[in-house]
Chains A and B, each alone.
Chain A
Amino acid sequence: MTSMDVSATSMDVSATISVNGRSHEIDCQPGATLLEVLRTSLGLTGTKFGCGIGYCGACTVLVDGAAAHSCCLLAATMQGREITTIEGVSGDGPDPSLGVISEAFLEAGAVQCGYCTPGFVVAIEALLAENPDPSEAEVRRYLTGNICRCSGFAAIVRAALRAGGRR
């Protein structure tokens, strides 16, 4: 991520945001995105900065359970919403450090450079919450909001289908 200043200034706004079930008091610039606050103020670096304009999905988080590009949301407007990051969707699989979807990514060989992986895992979490056993077409349509720059989409779709079958 490029240099940025989300430290306190006189223009700062304060907000209480809830991330992965924990409440945080934050002070940030009015223009600070949710992504910046997650990574810089809260140290939750699993959420990645990719394009910064809501296109690539590396920054995908859940807001009240719905997939969202955290680079396109102002942190101060997230008061009262429940944010879930990749750190919050881990831990429900056989390996306590991984979730069911991350396990499926390993098994399907769906990780190349890995930079897009957290965003895909979070997006698939949202997909499976509303559609526990999606078809391949449904997976592909839903993942419109995530780009794998290594172009490893086929394995990612297989991982999503594998995870879906297990819910």
Chain B
Amino acid sequence: MSLQLRINGEDRTVDAGTIMELLRSEGVDDTARFVAVAVNGAVAPRADWTTRSLGNGDDVEIVNPVSGG
């Protein structure tokens, strides 16, 4: 399924129906311990990744911890 999404601030067209499919198509290791996702300004818990459908225009943030002060 082709969707128009905003992914980490970039407007893109991707072939993904769920969060899990999006992570895989983006090359994100969905088993990695420290990844978190938000859709339209709300956290999408890991437990929902396989079932949570994305829709056209959704704003997705995929983040992880990095060095910080």
Please determine whether chains A and B interact with each other in the same assembly. Answer: no
Interface residues in chain B, defined as those with a beta carbon under 8 Å from any beta carbon in chain A = none
Interface residues in chain A, defined as those with a beta carbon under 8 Å from any beta carbon in chain B = none
